[in-house]
Structure 1
Amino acid sequence: MRPSRAADPLLRAALALLVTLSAACGSRLPERDSASPPAATPEGGPPIRVGVITSATSPVGGDAFTGPRDGALAYFAALNARGGVDGRRVEPVTCDDGGSGVGNHTCVTELVEERKVFALVATTALDYAAASRVSRAGVPDIGGQPIGPAYDTYPHLYGIYGSSAPRTGGRPGWNGVLYGGTEVYRYFKRAHGARTAAVVSYNQPSSAAYARLVTRGLEAEGYRVVTEQVDFALPNFRAVAADLRAQRPDLVLDALDSHGNARLCEAMDAVGAIPVAKVTNVQNWNSAVPDAYAKAPRCRNALWATGASRSHDDTSHPAVREFRAAMDAHAKGVTLRSQWQLEGWAAAMWFTDAARACLAAGPRGLTRACVERYLTRREPYTARGLLLPVRFERLARPPRTRRTCLSVARWRDGEGWVSQGDMNDNCATVPQLGYRP
């Protein structure tokens, strides 16, 4: 059996939940900008123009979705400083879609139809409303974050975690059903003896639906599940924490927004309800933990994150060190580091490796068709070891089980995110459960 993506389908649901809980009424027009144009065109040929669409000013708030963009821009800056791809610079053009479907269509119009970008890279769109237009235009979208189901629906779209869905442009997944594994719960059961888990949600439809999805996965792995619900308008986290202390779960998972998550941790800290692991997802896998959980030191040090990419704090790995050095040079004093930045860097690397492979056949070898052949080749892509092996298949039927690997890290004050084993070894064959996005 081969390793597969650890792209947690629950992450998509979690992001959708975050949007529902945090979005304000109304929308704003997108703000657009482009990276500084390249200097003189090098002898190797004209610049390769790529688009980067990000919901930078989304209703969820600033910086929520900018990590992949920043990682991709840092990669292209470092690449161009070394002479580009076979002497050709990569010109990234960014567009902020404002987190709205209308803004997303505006960005696609500008980048695809007006600026004629060769490809999109590291798309991170709250509402990828124009995905079908990108697909119809035959523009490869490489390494985007699968916040919604677009990357499991349309051809020419290649999410950062891969896909096995037919992707014919009709319904997402298999007849509108997506599938994901229980590898996160299997890991904690196998590696840490976890048997009881608590799932905390709001009394709000999206939060409750996500909590049911988490509960279903836990029960499939044999956990005893304790469910806790708080009022969305007036949440009493202290009462939840008191019950968690009585129930003594090994794991605590939640269907809350980031603010609620931090408040829950504060309440747990206050009553001494500290589990083996307070599990979070890849979006919260960042260096802001000391500030976000400043009032919850014990709960903070029980935080665990899981995902499909090597920890951005794993400086023992040369590809991570290269990423961090480039981010330091590109960030201009901004010290926040995140897993999404690393995945945006990997997306830019993926495009570059495909472009370089195509140009090896000659200056006319760089075509969209050639790039897509690289993306869909049988050999999985790992971005020099930054990603778990990524591949794209088109399976007529969803798999019932799958061997899936997992990147795991836990927070330690003074050390940051400490990797727990090698992600290529944290593997198990787990059931694939269906859900409707």
Structure 2
Amino acid sequence: MQQQLIPVRTGRVAAALAATLLVLSGSLAGCGTRLPESDFAAPGPTAAAGNPAGDTGVTPGQIKIGIVTSLTSPLGTEVLSGPRYGALAFFQALNAAGGLHGRTVQVVTCDDSGSGLGNQSCVHKLIDQDQVFAFAAGSVLDYAGAPYVSGKAVPDVGSQPLGTEYDRYPHLYGIYGSNAPRDGRSVGWDGTLFLSTEVYRFFKQRLGVRRAAVVAYNQAESLSYAHQIEQGLAAEGYHVLTKTVDLALPAFAAVATAMASDGTQIVFDAMDTRGNTGLCQALDAAGVRLAAKVTNVQNWTRTVGRDYAAAPGCRGVLWATSSSRNYADTGLPAVQQFRSAMDRYYPEREPLLSAWELEGWAGAQWLTDAMDSCGAALTRACVERFMNRAQPYDAHGLLIPADFTPEPRPSGPTRACLNVARWQDAAPAGGPGWVTQVPDMDTNCFDVPQLPYHP
């Protein structure tokens, strides 16, 4: 069975936060259909006087929204499901509060099974048959249906940019924003995207580290992403040790020995969770003591305690970076609203809470605020005017402000901000969890270079 790594890119400002996801692509061979969809039905419509049915998916009492998720991909049901649950919780809370201008939201979900064919099937069904008004908070491995969505001018708001589609097509609005031209022809600026180095700058200044290691699989996409990390680290003046392991039989013990000999202080990787935990076990067994093992927003989950149970030393230096708030910071009103809704509508997910769930909530909030700007006369064109405005958006404080204003090809430093948290087995709030390490992500900013790369 052939295995493939798909790089995950997290947008212009936080491009260096990318991770990789392990895709068992061979298991999808010959699978031209997706699994049956599931619908979340909103309460019955409460029509507001004078609400026009002004666009596809909009009636006087209801708005129909689509969510596509690679729920049953070979990665398992939890890897990509977070944004879906966060968005569903948001729309249920919205309906419970009376909806939007007298309209309730009906969410139609579709599982594309992680395949391009499945994604095209979901997109066509939701647009052609279900006639959704817009998409929200998608998280898919292969967005093969993106050209069709854009061609039909259906807004896709607040989704996770696991590929390059959100830096290519108009009408697609990823959760981290994009300042690329997005003309539908080429990705980014004539096929070039840019990563910034704020992650590496933060750890250099915060921890005083100068010797880093990057670990990748012997697989094209993993090696390509590892090269991006190396490029960013080198630009920040790090000494970099690069190690490659076999995808099927990774020799992590040898990697740990090499890190000990090289004096590695901080580790970045281009691997999946299986690789991360295997590497951490080898580091603990070899007695390697790091200042930090850096992961990303995709692994910012409450399951870390269980996932790294066999590597407590490495778990104790696990850090994560993102462009969104920590779901544990319930002192922030927007985070508390998210947590209260998750407790109400999905209490079984308490031990599975993740940063991606919060970002799914933020994506649904973004679309809702765009629709709210239209008042009773809700249209796709009005939503897109909101999305394309020059004013950056922060989802009521949940996101580092982002926008979709096209800018010239980057040619110099940029101001880039990030949030940072560290896993602690005994967090101040009691029990294990992620503890935010910066006072405010909106002021934890650096003037850093922008480095070109070709996805």
TM-score bucket (shorter structure): over 0.9
Secondary structure of residue in 2 paired with 1:95: strand
What is the aligned partner in structure 1 of residue 445 from structure 2? 427
Aligned pair partner of 1:8 in 9, 14, 33:
14
Inter-partner Cα distance in structure 2 for 1:32 and 1:11: 33
Determine whether 1:274 maps to 2:280. no
Secondary structure of residue in 1 paired with 2:360: helix
Determine whether 1:342 maps to 2:358. yes
Inter-partner Cα distance in structure 2 for 1:307 and 1:334: 21
Inter-partner Cα distance in structure 2 for 1:60 and 1:11: 20
CA contact (8 A) 2:44 2:104 kept: no
Q: CA offsets, 1:308-360, max 9 Å, x none? A: 0011111221111111111111214222100110000000011111111111x
CA contact (8 A) 1:200 1:253 kept: yes
1:52 alignment partner AA: I
1:40 alignment partner AA: G
Inter-partner Cα distance in structure 1 for 2:206 and 2:349: 36
Inter-partner Cα distance in structure 1 for 2:16 and 2:113: 24
Inter-partner Cα distance in structure 2 for 1:371 and 1:112: 17
TM-superposed deviation, 1:193: 1.0
> What value does the CA root-mean-square deviation take over the aligned residues?
1.6
Inter-partner Cα distance in structure 1 for 2:334 and 2:340: 10
TM alignment of 1:198-213, pairs within 5 A = 198-213=213-228
What is the aligned partner in structure 2 of residue 160 from structure 1? 175
1:339 alignment partner AA: A
What is the aligned partner in structure 2 of residue 288 from structure 1? 303
Inter-partner Cα distance in structure 1 for 2:323 and 2:216: 25
TM-superposed deviation, 1:166: 0.3
Inter-partner Cα distance in structure 1 for 2:329 and 2:419: 11
What is the aligned partner in structure 2 of residue 392 from structure 1? 404
TM alignment of 1:248-259, pairs within 5 A = 248-259=263-274
What is the aligned partner in structure 2 of residue 309 from structure 1? 324
TM-superposed deviation, 1:35: 2.8
Inter-partner Cα distance in structure 2 for 1:310 and 1:399: 29
Inter-partner Cα distance in structure 2 for 1:61 and 1:328: 23
Determine whether 1:371 maps to 2:383. yes
CA contact (8 A) 1:6 1:406 kept: no
Determine whether 1:405 maps to 2:407. no
Normalised by the length of structure 1, the TM-score is 0.94
Aligned pair partner of 2:165 in 150, 155, 162:
150
TM alignment of 1:119-198, pairs within 5 A = 119-198=134-213
Inter-partner Cα distance in structure 1 for 2:389 and 2:139: 24
Deviation >6 Å, runs of 4+ = none
Inter-partner Cα distance in structure 1 for 2:159 and 2:28: 26
Determine whether 1:35 maps to 2:39. yes
Structure 1 residues 402, 385: closer, same or farther in 2, change over 3 A? Answer: same
TM-superposed deviation, 1:204: 2.4
Secondary structure of residue in 1 paired with 2:373: helix
Inter-partner Cα distance in structure 1 for 2:198 and 2:17: 13
Inter-partner Cα distance in structure 1 for 2:88 and 2:26: 29
Normalised by the length of structure 2, the TM-score is 0.90
Determine whether 1:95 maps to 2:110. yes
Inter-partner Cα distance in structure 1 for 2:65 and 2:12: 27
CA contact (8 A) 2:195 2:450 kept: yes
Moved more, 388-397 or 166-175: 388-397
Consecutive unaligned residues in structure 2, runs of 5 or more: 1-9, 49-59, 428-432
Consecutive unaligned residues in structure 1, runs of 5 or more: none
Inter-partner Cα distance in structure 2 for 1:193 and 1:184: 13
What is the aligned partner in structure 2 of residue 81 from structure 1? 96
TM-superposed deviation, 1:247: 1.9
2:14 alignment partner AA: D
Q: CA offsets, 1:150-169, max 9 Å, x none? A: 00000010000000100000
